[in-house]
Amino acid sequence: MEKLSNELVCMIVKDLTSRDLFSLSRASRTYWKWLQPLLYRQHALRDDRRTGSAITNVLESTDPNKPETRAMSLIILDKVAQFCHFESAVLDRCRRTTRASDWFDSGRVCHLASLCEIRICLTRHPSLSPLHVAALKGLDDIAAWLLDQGASVDAPIPGTKTTALTLAVLGNHIPTTLLLLANGADPGSRLSGRDVRDPPTVLHLVCMLGLAELADQLLTRQYLEVDPTELLVVYQLNCPSDVSGFVAVLVRHGAEVSADNFRSFLHASKWQSAWEVLTSPILSDHLVVEAASCMLRDVVSLRSEKLAKHMETVVRIMRHLLDRGADPNLGRLLWPRSGSVDYPILLKLLPPFFEAGMDVRPAPSTRRRTRRQSSVKYGVDDLLGHTSPFDESQDDEGAAAQLSVICVLLQHGALIGGATRGDALDSYLVVFDEQLDGRARWSYKLCQVLLAHSRSVPEDKRGEDINVFLDRFSKVQRRGRSKLVAGL
């Protein structure tokens, strides 16, 4: 029966439905033995909107995350190969499907304008061949079966230039992608052929999507002769995500990096990529002090909101640059000259600069600094005086962090200047009341911090700033007590 021609099989099953065949096959094992070839051939030949071919039904019902369904699908396909006679044109026949959007992660490409056409295509019930479905779902074993049976590896989706290889890459299905390339898929085909923004090769597409492991596999197997430095630029300009390990992969395959790449990743908030550029041998081993300082300036000049989202990586980058000789006084740039300061963030960013020897004292006012000396200071001169004023925009957490920053500055040698004394004592109240708020409450807490620091310093080691503050505090305290006595 398996030797019957397709035309004769069509005549036999013209008035015999698949339900009839199933009923007959269940009647006895003898019937099943004889009818099994006819049953499979009928499924493989029928192709209309109500009943798809056996191959299409198998592909649409296979769950790539359930090995048991994949094993059963391969058994059925082996039966089809055994009993059905078909040409490669049957395998390349495209059939409209309504479930393509279920197999496709549109979020992966929604930010890429050059992939808009294919995203729209896959969400509007496209016509797909069995190999397209296998690539889209990542069914590499079934894709291998289709290719063995003669499916065209570069057949596009009707009306587009999108092939199975593109679909496999969009789904980040590494085994399927490698299988298609091993079977002769063209890695240089464009997506649409019309948009100049289309990635010219599959490797460029991989970089736009930020698929690090797939990029590593393709570069290792050398399916294409592409400059890794060019791929780094493609990733830098087009990939919306900060993909861990992607830059490291390209560097390992010969991509050249520079301080300009580091700066570009910073401004794109790709901190992990910036870190991988910074620690690459080609840059890290030849980083001079001046370049390290310029790169650190780029980091501290960013807005605190950008720094807060990637705090761990930011601190790691700062330590690395300071270890390479960057000027620790660049930490002064963390204080904006105007506007509110995010003290909780500032408190987390300061330790690397203090460990590297940042000078927190204001410049001497009794002598004129030379150009060389003035270049050592950046941003705000009197850090303690800039930090001590009452800031009504701070909540309780911010005010507590502000006091902590003041404590740290005092511990590292900041001098209590006139501005700070005024912030602490002008609104100071001798008796602290929990009901105090606003400037009075802040002055009391600031004064207690300054007192605790001043009294912790031995008398023979106190500077003039501490002695002046303690003397001024004693006068304010006596004046406050005399008013209380008069009031009684």
Report pLDDT digits (tens) over 173-187: 999 999 999 999 988
**Tokens encoding 135:** 């690539």
387/392 Cα distance (integer angstroms)? 13
Q: Which of 270, 264, 227, 268 is nearest to 246 (CA)?
A: 270
For residue 107, the 8-state DSSP code is G
Q: Is 326 left (phi over 0), alpha (psi -120 to 50) or beta?
A: beta
Q: What is the pTM of this model?
A: 0.79
306/118 Cα distance (integer angstroms)? 33
Pick the CATH number of 88-221 from 3.40.1230.10, 1.25.40.20, 2.60.40.1080, 3.20.20.10: 1.25.40.20
Residue ranges of domains in the chain: 1-85, 88-221
Averaged pLDDT for residues 232-242: 91
Please check the confidence at residue 335 and state whether its pLDDT lies above 80: yes
The pLDDT assigned to 131 comes to 93
Condensed to tens digits (0 to 9), the pLDDT of residues 182-231 reads 999 988 765 554 555 567 788 998 999 999 999 999 999 988 888 999 99
Instruction: Please check whether residue 106 is in contact with residue 117, taking contact to mean a CB–CB distance below 8 angstroms.
Output: no
Map residue 46 onto helix, strand or coil: coil
180/172 Cα distance (integer angstroms)? 13
Q: Which of 337, 338, 342, 277 is nearest to 307 (CA)?
A: 342
Averaged pLDDT for residues 259-263: 93
